[in-house]
Amino acid sequence: MANWLFKTEPDECSIDDFANAPDTPIVWEGVRNYQARNMLRDQVQKDDLVLIYHSSCKLIGVAGIARVVRPAYADPSQFNTASVYFDAKSSPDAPRWVAVDLVFVEKLPALIPLDKIKSSAKLNGLPLVQKGSRLSVMPVTAAQWQHILQLG
DNA sequence: GCCAACGTTGGC
DNA sequence: GCCAACGTTGGC
């Protein structure tokens, strides 16, 4: 079992969307980066735990935890012409992108801000804080996981 | 809204 | 397969 950090813009999908529907799986769709996709497709497994990270917003940081309930399958949004994630170059025969399903685990009592994560020497190796890294799906080691949550 | 950094595309 | 141009990400 592995741990992950997924980025999301809270305007699109926030930890509150999870918290408001604790029994409903949320389709994690719209990953359109090959490196992130490869991890989603090849490594993310059922029951893995995921830090939900809010980006491009006022309060940037880790907001809560979710759990994988369904591993990678063809992302339906790539075939949906009405979706912003529609990809004309993908076909049902050879889907290019994958989605996973997540369910709510918890909302952190207080969001763990990015600057705290940045200033923790023990988290230097986290792709999130590495210069130029734009991965929206990244692995988190057990030690990093603990350190992040300890900041809260 | 700026912009640095990275990713993708497409002509050659 | 190089690389310039363009697009995207995401913190600030």
Task: Output the pLDDT for position A44.
Answer: 98
Q: Does residue A120 lie within 7 Å of nucleic acid chain B, judged by its CB? A: no
Task: Output the pLDDT for position A1.
Answer: 87
**DSSP single-letter state for residue A91:** B
- Quick one: what percent of chain A has pLDDT higher than 70? 100
In the structure encoding, which two tokens stand for residue A121, read together? 């020497």
pLDDT tens digits along A98-131: 999 999 999 999 999 999 999 999 999 999 999 8
> Gap from A23 CA to B4 C1', in Å?
41
First-to-final CA distance of chain A? 23
CATH for the stretch A3-151: 3.10.590.10
Task: Output the pLDDT for position A3.
Answer: 97
Q: Does residue A55 lie within 7 Å of nucleic acid chain C, judged by its CB? A: yes
CB distance A59 to A113 below 8 Å? yes
The closest nt to A130, taking CA to C1', is B5
In the structure encoding, which two tokens stand for residue A95, read together? 């889907």
Domain boundaries, chain A: 3-151
Q: Does residue A136 lie within 7 Å of nucleic acid chain C, judged by its CB? A: yes
